[in-house]
Amino acid sequence: MARESVFGTATLVLGPETLLAERAVARLLAAAQAEHPDVQRSELDGSRMSAADLLEAAGGSLFTSLSVVVVDSAQLLEPGAADALVALAAAPGDELCLVVQHQGGTKGRGVADRLRKAKVHVVEAVGPKAWELVGFVTAEARHAGVKMDQGAAQALIDAVGSDLRSLAAAVSQLASDWAGERLSVEMVGRYFAGRAEVSSFVVSDDVLAGHTGQALERLRWALSCGVAPVLITSALASSLRSLGNYLELRSSRLSDAEMARAVGAPPWKLKTLARQARHWHASAMGPAIVAVARADAAVKGAATDPEFALEQLLLSLDDARSA
């Protein structure tokens, strides 16, 4: 059965996860070049693109009438360019493969909505939920030609963090050294020795469990190793949201899977939340979240010493927990 041609089609790659968006675009480009190696390829920046730029790129060249046009940052299009894009997407013609990248969100939502109404193919570029990261890592491992169980995948997430690009790169590194093998927790630990200690979520887990002194030590180590301060506040905000939801729902009769979905955390995290919940009560959540919000503003530029702001945050969380 012949594969359907990508020419005569328009595709909207929608979502904020850049790794997934780049891969979706790369697949379409590869398919177009496999069909016609001499195809003309044009990339346009939506923030600067005019309607004339789009029509010129879609028109082919002296050497080939076939073209692939990639429009990036479609959420930034000016009205005239947006109108031209939607019209072209609705009727791309047999010699054009049109790919539109849009980061999603509220900015430029009208463009995405109009493209959907034009019946373009939509590829979602939205990152996995926290409890789906293990599945993402194991899928990356399979694609790289190695086997990895859930324990090893979780060890990698603990060591590297939740950024998809970092996780994909880490899997690629492991696969290059142990091609065709089954990756174990021990292999991951040896390969990324020292990186787990600088995980922003390790700092978060320590302070929420009441180990403030250890959290301060790991915070200083993390910052000295180049972990961005904003990742610390992001991890704390995420962990506090999960803990707050757990405190609210722990008396309900939910299965682990149902609880994990309701809390917004992977199932393996429930034991950690149960341990942390022994040290917290619901009334402490408000002051803790306010403290994180203030520290987040500080590390993003409102304070001259982000490290001091983060240390004060950990002490504020300890006070909230103990109150």
Domain 197-322: CATH architecture, name and number where available: Up-down Bundle (1.20)
**pLDDT tens, N- to C-terminus, the chain (323 residues):** 446 899 999 999 999 998 899 899 999 999 999 998 888 889 999 989 999 999 999 886 545 678 999 999 999 999 999 999 999 999 998 999 999 999 998 989 999 999 999 999 999 999 898 889 999 999 999 999 999 999 899 888 877 777 788 788 888 888 888 888 888 888 887 777 555 444 677 788 889 988 898 889 888 877 876 777 888 898 899 889 989 999 988 888 888 778 888 888 777 778 888 888 888 988 999 999 999 999 988 888 765 788 899 999 999 999 999 87
Cβ proximity of 239 and 261 under 8 Å: no
Residues near 123 by beta carbon (within 8 Å), at least 6 away in sequence: 11, 12, 13, 14, 24
Q: For domain 9-124, which CATH number applies: 3.40.50.300, 3.40.50.1100, 1.10.287.3510, 3.40.50.2000? A: 3.40.50.300
Q: Report the pLDDT value the prediction gives residue 62, as an integer from 0 to 100.
A: 46
Torsion angle in degrees (nearest 10) through CA of 116, 119, 123, 129? 50
**CATH 1.10.8.60 in the chain, residues?**
130-193
**CATH 1.20.272.10 in the chain, residues?**
197-322
Q: Report the pLDDT value the prediction gives residue 1, as an integer from 0 to 100.
A: 41
Cβ proximity of 244 and 231 under 8 Å: no
Decide if domain 130-193 falls under CATH 1.10.8.60.
yes
Alpha helices in the chain (DSSP H): 18-35, 51-58, 79-90, 109-117, 133-144, 150-160, 164-177, 185-191, 200-208, 212-224, 229-249, 256-263, 269-277, 285-297, 306-322
Q: Which amino acid is at 312?
A: Q
Q: In terms of Cα–Cα distance, which of 250, 134, 137, 269 is closest to 201?
A: 269
Q: Report the pLDDT value the prediction gives residue 197, as an integer from 0 to 100.
A: 42
The single-letter DSSP state of residue 302 is I
**CATH 3.40.50.300 in the chain, residues?**
9-124
Q: Report the pLDDT value the prediction gives residue 196, as an integer from 0 to 100.
A: 44
Q: Report the pLDDT value the prediction gives residue 70, as an integer from 0 to 100.
A: 94
> Collapsing DSSP states into helix, strand and coil, what is residue 10?
strand
